[in-house]
Amino acid sequence: MVDHPVAHRHGPVTVPRRVGPAAGLFAVALIPLGFLAVFFAWPVLAILRLGLGAGVLTVLGDADTWRLVAFTLGQAAVSTVLALLAGLPVAFLLARTRLPGLGFVRVAVLVPFVLPTVVVGLAFRVLLPDGGVPAIVLANAFFNVAVVANTVAGLWSHVDRRSEDAARVLGASRSRTFAAVTLPALTPAVGSAAAIVFLFCATSFGVVLVLGGARHRTLETEIYLRTVELFDLPGAAALSLLQIGAVVAALAVGAAVRRRRETALALRGRAESARRPAGAEWAVVALAYGVVVLLLVPVLVLTLRSLSTSDGWSLAGYRALATTGTSGTLAISGVEAAANSLRAATDATVLAMTLGISASVVLVAMSRGRVRRGFVETMDAALMLPLGVSAVTVGFGYLITLDKLPGDLRTAPVLVPLAQALVVTPLVIRMVLPVLRAIDERLRSAAATLGAGPLRVWREVDLPLAGRSVLSAATFGFVVALGEFGATSFLARPDTTTLPVAIGRLISRPGALNNQMAYAACTLLMVVTVLAVVLVDRLRVPGVGEF
Amino acid sequence: MALAVTGLTVHYGAVAAVSDVDIEVADGEVVALLGPSGCGKSTLLRAVAGLERPGAGAVCWDGADLAGLAVHRRGFGLVFQDGQLFPHRDVAGNVEFGLRMAGVDRTARAERVTELLTLLGLDGYQRRRITELSGGEQQRVALARALAPRPRLLLLDEPLSALDRALREQLALDLARVLRVSGSTALVVTHDHDEAFTLADRVALMRAGRIVQTGRPEQVWRAPADQQTAAFLGCTTFLPATVAAGVASCALGPVEVPAPDGPVLLGLRPTALRSDHGGRLRGETLARVHRRDHVRLRVRLAEWPEPVDAVAGIADAPEAGDPVRLCLDPDGVAVLSRP
Amino acid sequence: MTVTRRAALAALVFAAVTGCSVFGGDGGTEPGERTVVLVTHDSFTMKQEVLDEFRASSGIRIDVRKSGDAGSLTNQLVLTKSSPLGDVAFGVDNTFADRALSADVFVPYRSPDADKGPSRYSIDDTDRLTAVDVGDVCVNADSAWFAGRGIPVPASYEDLADPKYKDLLVVQDPATSSPGLAFALGTVAHFGGDGWVNYWGKLLANGVKVTSGWEEAYTQDFSGSSGKGPRPLVVSYASSPAAEVGPDGKPRTSALLSTCFRQVEYAGVLTNAKHPDDARKVVDFLLSQPFQSNVAEQMFVYPAREDVPLPASWQGVAPQPSNPATLPEEVDQAWLITLWRTAMDR
């Protein structure tokens, strides 16, 4: 045997790793992890530390606290199931059928997400005057159908239809085929969607507040009360710890479900997997259209409100959008607020896509490295945590930490897209990761042996194959950022007010015109959303999304 | 030597998939890595490609160590068992991929694509979608894609195993022709000895992560290194024998073997015993299975305690239970050193 | 459209949208100008002309940073005391003042204009907080509803518990709503530390509806707003009727002036402010004629100064209550909310 330096350097039992620029991977990993550490972990830990003490135990020992936990998780679980039931037919419709009007469906499903929760809460109060748990659950599901439909359709449209055909030939009924072949293939996406929806519902604030009245409270609303109104930081810390614990548990369950399922699939272009529905598929299509119609009901309620006054129908609310409201309720006009919304959402989307895609790339590269499964899953869960921690905890954490960064970011408008990106990034990861993981590693190897470097492999293989998912993640992230209220209302200056914040201001003022203008602004927000989504849909940057 | 692998070891966790392997491929030579599934031959191939980092040992090209050279800079072509064509590109898009990576201009790419598609019998397939191709066509495109940038070494990982038998045999011949015409230096991984012997100038037999024998196909075929290797190469019955003047004497009688005098072990493939009306060996047919161009028999002989395998012509094959006479055919006999 | 043109269009649209994004946008100060950061609550609004006028005359640009409601604002000021978010704060009200004062968030400053009315609402002997405006939370009634049924509009807290007015009142949760908290404090002031819980029991028996926020109660459940809800009585502000004037110039609603609780909003110079001198000038500005004469229409509150007239549209429609309840001594919010929840859980 020839003596060779390599042999000496590594010795006989070195753990093998994929050959690759490990340093480059580490650098890429630093982008999302660094962001997470500075803009999430540090602030949250700082505010929790302020509250830690004997008070925490008192709260944890209180039976009322545990009723709160039970109700929070219970309503989130039911809402998640409902969103899944409503979202899967829509995902089928979007991914697997070739029917006129799908563009409309794609947009209609996204619209709820952009509406301020207060306004949606008010719309549901019109529809279900008694409110209560059914209204909370329905409203939560209303928001989250889009998460399920988008995440699942992203993968579904890429899954090879032939394995289903094979099962059908082998004598399986359509429903049997779905349960035995289709659903297992979709499990990563369904698990991803369920995890996100659960987190959204568990931390749902506006909906619970408006529809729960004074009767129904969740961890999130109590954390808000104790932090913002009562200044009971020990109580808030105790509840936040419970919330984080519950979220981590939910994430662990989600990861366990996904673990066995994330395998390479033979990915196909949508053109091949979509076709005219047949037989019982029409029932699913009908169900999907039914869901879309139901989603549009609250939207319709809002639109009607924008047109009605005590004295009959009027366009006064829309005319008022060009102004700053009755005696200048807003510092800027509704139209300017819409422009602000677009700008902030664009910043947030660009940032979140950068963070989310780099995180996804790192997670995929790391899980190929065979040995670091525990680390991969921890990082995956850590990236999801921002969805499960109360916005007010993060916000108050910023107050006591970010002044230590150069430029005192605490009240800087730049914090708006940063805070929005914190929410959008997990969505991007959950939408892109399943598709990236489904790409056969050997395709990348083939490209590499043909002379493509790591970046080129990403551009030539991953990006085109995950193109549809990347694109819908961008669209979806944009819509989420466009509708973001909590962080923005906290951080936006009067002259950088966004539409949702303006709506919140208008709705909290007496006077018919303000009210009408608020609903007109909602309509404007929806129109802006639709235009943005349609535009992104049209763009289809070359090489991306054509697959 | 173009490729020289020395002392290569690759671990998966605590398991050594490849242990201390030495192998060389000369310029223009086709070497087959032959072995059962799980013997580590694909891992060895991946390590040569740079897709797997060795725990020890070296992969060298023309004397230069490739350890620091990333996959995409090695200039090696790789063909997978199931093609792994880029589903989002058409045939031409796949074939020209490596040329594009190398910065070859559009016209030159188109020319090369046409040239390769012609070589592989896929004229005019440029704009076809990948999903419209049959398995055999996909595999040809994969081969064209790997050949297009004129790799200094072609790595083929079970290139034919995903295909059906007739197609496999046809494509094996095509592949042999293409490798010869293109003058490729190639390392082929396969578990099929027919495939290995069709394609390769030299065969390396691998078992449990180690190379147990290397040699020209007929060498390996006639003289496997040990009993396990012989079994892998189709020998089903083993008999001790003594060679004297080119004739081995064993329990079933004498047979001509190209071996020096002394004690040996004979490995009998089913074709070593043929049904023959004038055959010296008498036995009873236990079972018969119809094969494509012959009938496989299971026979109990008086001369040997274990049932043996034998072949018969389709027309005159005995039924189960019939008496049968067999003769020894030197072509089906492998010679091993007596352990 | 060709692929390249499409890509160019994409780039163009992208640039247009992001071109003047919030990244890096920071108002912009004229040369020689100073900036004072005013930390306030979400409800702060003031005409740009008024702010511009002050900027021109004083050379101070006021950078307004809004931070949630009054409670949120107060807590943020306490948390950031050592490194304050700005120089001056406006919007801490009498319900939360104690929290801010005991944390020493503000430094003493007495504005020359304090004697022109604001000192009436003084809450602190050392002049750390200066009253800027007052808002009264009262039950509002839909006048037409009562007129149409020939029932007299209720006048007192006691009337609200009268079976004659069963199922007519909607209030807000004191835990989640600022007017809700004010109304609950009003009942504490009126019925005393023992009687108020009992009173809420009666309200409950009389069919009171509780919402989390003012928005649901006022815009949806109240019959006097554009939402045309089913209930003619709602907890809102004494100033709200000014916003519900019909085309004939007559108010559709009225405030029940004996059910009012007064919220006083204060301003003060923050401890550790970077520009304390300019911050004091901003406090003066908040008490100045131009600012005070606009608070009514801009923020639906009454000016703290005495020499500032109410806008014409408010005359008669939204008179300032003469004898509202004020903060009962030693009311702890956690105590109030716990007891209130117990009363309402029955």
Could you read off the pLDDT of A485-541 as tens digits, one per residue?
777 776 667 777 888 888 888 888 777 788 888 888 888 888 888 888 787 766 654
- Section A164-184 average pLDDT: 77
CA B36, CA B228: separation in Å to the nearest integer? 11
C80 and A410 in contact by Cβ < 8 A?
A: yes
CA-based nearest distance A453→chain B, Å: 6
Q: What is the DSSP string of C222-290?
A: BTTSTT--SBSEEEEETTGGGG-B-TTS-BSEEE-GGG-EEEEEEEEEETT-S-HHHHHHHHHHHTSHH
pLDDT > 90 in chain A, percent:
18
- State yes or no: pLDDT of A110 exceeds 60: yes
In the numeric block, the tokens 């590594």 are attached to A10
- Section C163-192 average pLDDT: 93
Q: Take residue B149 and report the two structure tokens written for it.
A: 């940038």
Cα–Cα distances (Å) from C123 to B246, C135, C138, C180, C325, in that order, read 121, 16, 22, 22, 15
- State yes or no: pLDDT of C1 exceeds 70: no
**Nearest CB neighbour to B65, from listed A6, A370, A457:** A6
A263-277, A319-333, B76-90, C197-211: the lowest-pLDDT one:
A263-277
Most A CBs within 10 A among B90, B101, B104, hence the mutation to make, goes to: B101
Closest residue in chain B to residue A13, using alpha carbons only: B55
CA-based nearest distance A348→chain B, Å: 30
- Contact present, A234 and A52 (Cβ < 8 Å): yes
- C-alpha neighbours within 13 Å on the C-beta side of residue C104: 3
A1 and B74 in contact by Cβ < 8 A?
A: no
The closest alpha carbon to A469, from A154, A221, A194, A227, belongs to: A154
Residue A260 has a pLDDT of: 58
Q: Are strands C88-93 and C34-40 parallel, antiparallel or unpaired?
A: parallel
In sequence order, the 6+-apart residues with CB closer than 8 A to the CB of C169 are C139, C160, C203, C206, C207, C208, C209, C231, C233, C234, C235
CA A486, CA A391: separation in Å to the nearest integer? 7
Alpha carbon A508 to its chain centroid, in Å, reads 27
CA C111, CA B95: separation in Å to the nearest integer? 82
CA C35, CA C17: separation in Å to the nearest integer? 29
Q: Which residues of B93-127 are buried (b: 16+ CB within 10 A; e: fewer)?
A: bbbbbbbbbeebeeeebbebbeebbebbebeebbe
Cα–Cα distances (Å) from B89 to A169, A268, A547, B162, C246, in that order, read 29, 11, 9, 22, 68
- State yes or no: pLDDT of A270 exceeds 80: no
Q: Take residue A295 and report the two structure tokens written for it.
A: 């989603």
Q: Take residue B185 and report the two structure tokens written for it.
A: 């230096």
Could you read off the pLDDT of C32-55 as tens digits, one per residue?
789 999 999 888 888 888 999 999
B22 and A1 in contact by Cβ < 8 A?
A: yes
Check if C113 contacts A (Cβ < 8 Å). no
- State yes or no: pLDDT of C29 exceeds 90: no
Residue B1 has a pLDDT of: 65
Closest residue in chain B to residue A448, using alpha carbons only: B72
Query: In terms of residues, how long is chain A?
Result: 547
The closest alpha carbon to A245, from A69, A35, A34, belongs to: A69
C8 or C135, which is more confident: C135
Could you read off the pLDDT of B245-264 as tens digits, one per residue?
989 999 999 999 988 899 99
Residue C48 has a pLDDT of: 84
The closest alpha carbon to C38, from C84, C72, C75, belongs to: C84
- Section C63-68 average pLDDT: 84
pLDDT band at B136 (very low <50, low <70, confident <90, very high): confident
In A, which residues are within 8 Å of B156 by CB distance?
A: none
A77-91, A240-254, A372-386: the lowest-pLDDT one:
A372-386
pLDDT band at C12 (very low <50, low <70, confident <90, very high): very low
- State yes or no: pLDDT of C242 exceeds 60: yes
In A, which residues are within 8 Å of C86 by CB distance?
A: 411
Q: Take residue B26 and report the two structure tokens written for it.
A: 């000369």
CA-based nearest distance A343→chain C, Å: 5
A254-258, A507-511, B207-211, C9-13: the lowest-pLDDT one:
C9-13
- State yes or no: pLDDT of C128 exceeds 90: yes
When mean pLDDT is compared over A296-305, A513-522, B215-224, the highest value belongs to B215-224
Most A CBs within 10 A among B15, B85, B86, B143, hence the mutation to make, goes to: B86
Q: Which long-range contacts (CB under 8 A, 24 or more apart) does C216-219 make?
A: C216/A121, C216/A122, C216/A125, C216/A210, C217/C170, C217/C171, C217/C172, C218/A510, C218/C140, C219/A122, C219/A507, C219/A515
- State yes or no: pLDDT of C184 exceeds 90: yes
Inter-chain contacts counted by CB atoms under 8 A, chains A and C: 186
In A, which residues are within 8 Å of B70 by CB distance?
A: 19-21, 448, 453-454
Q: Take residue B260 and report the two structure tokens written for it.
A: 């020096």
- State yes or no: pLDDT of C278 exceeds 60: yes
Residue A541 has a pLDDT of: 45
- Section C66-73 average pLDDT: 84
CA A337, CA A318: separation in Å to the nearest integer? 14
**Nearest CB neighbour to B52, from listed A16, A269, A371:** A16
- DSSP reduced 3-state for A303: helix
Residue A107 has a pLDDT of: 84
pTM here is 0.79
A507 and C334 in contact by Cβ < 8 A?
A: no
pLDDT band at A305 (very low <50, low <70, confident <90, very high): confident
B160 or C227, which is more confident: B160
Residue C18 has a pLDDT of: 47
Could you read off the pLDDT of A64-75 as tens digits, one per residue?
889 999 999 999
pLDDT band at B181 (very low <50, low <70, confident <90, very high): confident
pLDDT band at A259 (very low <50, low <70, confident <90, very high): low
**Nearest CB neighbour to A7, from listed B14, B50, B56:** B56
**Torsions phi, psi for A391 (to 5 deg):** -60, -35
In C, which residues are within 8 Å of A343 by CB distance?
A: 17-18, 20-22
pLDDT > 70 in chain A, percent:
87
Most B CBs within 10 A among A370, A442, A449, hence the mutation to make, goes to: A449
Most B CBs within 10 A among A373, A450, A468, hence the mutation to make, goes to: A450
Indicate contact of B with C: 3+ CB pairs under 8 A. no
C330 or A285, which is more confident: A285
- Contact present, A414 and C23 (Cβ < 8 Å): yes
Cα–Cα distances (Å) from C37 to B36, C40, C64, in that order, read 77, 10, 6
Mean pLDDT, chain A, rounded, equals 81
- State yes or no: pLDDT of B90 exceeds 70: yes
In C, which residues are within 8 Å of A221 by CB distance?
A: 176
C217 or A53, which is more confident: C217
Closest residue in chain C to residue A509, using alpha carbons only: C215
- State yes or no: pLDDT of A413 exceeds 90: no
In sequence order, the 6+-apart residues with CB closer than 8 A to the CB of B134 are none
Residue C293 has a pLDDT of: 93
What amino acid occupies position A464? P
Closest residue in chain A to residue C4, using alpha carbons only: A542
- State yes or no: pLDDT of A253 exceeds 70: yes
A170-179, A412-421, C77-86: the lowest-pLDDT one:
A170-179
Query: Which residues on adjacent β-strands are paired with residue A313?
Result: A308
Residue C130 has a pLDDT of: 95
Which partners does chain A have (≥3 C-beta pairs < 8 Å)? B, C
- Section B46-71 average pLDDT: 91
In sequence order, the 6+-apart residues with CB closer than 8 A to the CB of C192 are none
C313 or C208, which is more confident: C208
CA A273, CA A306: separation in Å to the nearest integer? 41
Q: Take residue A398 and report the two structure tokens written for it.
A: 């910023």
Check if C293 contacts A (Cβ < 8 Å). no
Residue B113 has a pLDDT of: 96
In A, which residues are within 8 Å of B12 by CB distance?
A: 16, 370
- State yes or no: pLDDT of A422 exceeds 80: yes
Could you read off the pLDDT of B106-115 as tens digits, one per residue?
999 999 999 9
- Section C248-252 average pLDDT: 83
- Section C138-161 average pLDDT: 94
In B, which residues are within 8 Å of A162 by CB distance?
A: none
The closest alpha carbon to A398, from A385, A407, A408, belongs to: A408
In B, which residues are within 8 Å of A17 by CB distance?
A: 53
When mean pLDDT is compared over B76-80, B277-281, B335-339, C164-168, the highest value belongs to C164-168
Q: Interface pTM (ipTM) of the complex?
A: 0.83
In B, which residues are within 8 Å of A460 by CB distance?
A: 86, 97
CA A200, CA A393: separation in Å to the nearest integer? 15
Mean pLDDT, chain C, rounded, equals 87
Closest residue in chain A to residue B86, using alpha carbons only: A443
Q: Take residue A479 and report the two structure tokens written for it.
A: 């819509």
Query: Which residues on adjacent β-strands are paired with residue A317?
Result: none
In A, which residues are within 8 Å of C173 by CB distance?
A: 213-214
- Contact present, C279 and C270 (Cβ < 8 Å): yes
In B, which residues are within 8 Å of A442 by CB distance?
A: 80, 84
- Section C69-94 average pLDDT: 91
Residue A258 has a pLDDT of: 67
Q: Which long-range contacts (CB under 8 A, 24 or more apart) does B209-212 make?
A: B209/B16, B209/B17, B209/B18, B209/B19, B209/B21, B209/B39, B209/B40, B210/B19, B210/B20, B210/B21, B210/B40, B211/B21, B211/B22, B211/B23
- State yes or no: pLDDT of A427 exceeds 90: no
Check if C25 contacts A (Cβ < 8 Å). yes
